[in-house]
Chain A
Amino acid sequence: MITRRIAKASAALAAIVLSASASAQDLPRQKVELVAPPFVHPHEQATTQGPKIMEFRLVAEEKQIVIDDQGTKLQAMTFNGSIPAPLMVVHEGDYVEVTLVNPPTNSMPHNIDFHSATGASGGGDLTLISPGEQVVLRWKATRTGVFVYHCIPGGPMVPWHIASGMSGVVMVLPRDGLKDGLGKPLHYDRIYYLGEQDFYVPRDEKGKFKTYDSPAAAFMDTMELMRKLVPTHVVFNGRVGALTGKSAMPAKVGETVLIVHSQADRDSRPHLVGGHGDYVWETGKFSNRPETDLETWFIRGGSAGAALYKFLQPGIYPYVNHNMVEAFELGATAHFRVEGNWSSDLMTQVKAPEPIGIQALAR
Chain B
Amino acid sequence: MLLAWKIKALVAAVVAPLAISAFAPIGDPWPTTSHVPIPDLVDLRPGAFRYRASGDFTREGNPAPAPIATVAIKRTLAVMRHQVTAADYSRCVVAGACPTVDNEAAASDRPAVNVSWRDAHAYASWLSRATGIRFRLPTDEEWVFAAASRFKDDVLPDAAYDRDPGLRVLAIYDVEAGRRARGIDGKPQPIGSFGANENGLLDVAGNVWEWTDTCFVRGVLDTRGETAATTVNCGIRVVEGRHRAYVPDFVRDARTGGCSVGVPPSNLGFRLVHEDDAWSKLYLLLGLAQRR
Contact = CB atoms under 8 A, between A and B. Distances in A.
Nearest to A68: B255
Given A69-B186, A353-B58, A358-B220, A316 B164 contact: no
Interface in B231-273: 231, 255-258, 260-261
A119 B58 CA distance: 64
Contacts of B178: 246
A313 interface: yes
A340 interface: yes
Nearest to B232: A355
Contacts of B228: 361
Given A69-B255, A245-B177, A352-B62, A273 B167 contact: no
Given A69-B255, A314-B167, A342-B164, A245 B176 contact: yes
Contacts, number: 96
A323 to B, nearest CB: 14
A184 interface: no
**Most chain B Cβ neighbours within 10 Å, of A316, A335, A340:** A316
Contact of B166 (A69, A241, A328, A340): A340
Q: Is the interface of B mostly helix, strand, loop or mixed?
A: mixed
B222 A314 contact: no
A206 B105 CA distance: 11
A186 B244 CA distance: 46
A353 B58 CA distance: 8
B285 interface: no
A333 B262 CA distance: 13
A361 B255 CA distance: 38
A303 to B, nearest CB: 26
A354 B223 contact: no
B50 interface: no
Contacts of B256: 329
B61 interface: yes
Given A327-B260, A362-B222, A314 B164 contact: yes
A143 B251 CA distance: 51
Interface in A289-320: 313-316, 318, 320
Contacts of A338: 166
A314 B186 CA distance: 33
A335 B166 contact: no
B125 interface: no
B170 A351 contact: no
Contacts of B181: 245-246
B80 to A, nearest CB: 28
A246 B167 CA distance: 16
A2 interface: no
B257 A328 contact: yes
A355 B231 CA distance: 6
A341 B223 contact: no
Contacts of A352: 58, 61-63, 220
Given A245-B177, A355-B231, A347 B183 contact: no
Interface string B167-179: 1011001001110
Contact of A355 (B60, B230, B257): B230
A316 B255 CA distance: 20
A361 B173 CA distance: 30
Contacts of A278: none
A232 to B, nearest CB: 12
A244 B262 CA distance: 10
Nearest to B263: A245
B186 A347 contact: no
Nearest to B62: A352
A246 B180 CA distance: 9
Nearest to B104: A206
B167 A349 contact: no
B46 interface: no
B183 A342 contact: no
22 contacts: A244-B177, A245-B176, A246-B177, A248-B177, A313-B166, A314-B166, A314-B169, A315-B165, A327-B260, A333-B260, A338-B166, A340-B166, A342-B166, A342-B167, A352-B58, A353-B56, A353-B218, A354-B229, A358-B220, A361-B220, A361-B228, A362-B222
Interface of B: 56, 58, 60-63, 104, 164-167, 169-170, 173, 176-178, 180-181, 183, 186, 218, 220, 222-223, 228-231, 255-258, 260-261
Given A352-B62, A354-B218, 9 more contacts: A69-B255, A241-B180, A314-B164, A335-B173, A342-B164, A352-B63, A354-B231, A361-B228, A362-B223
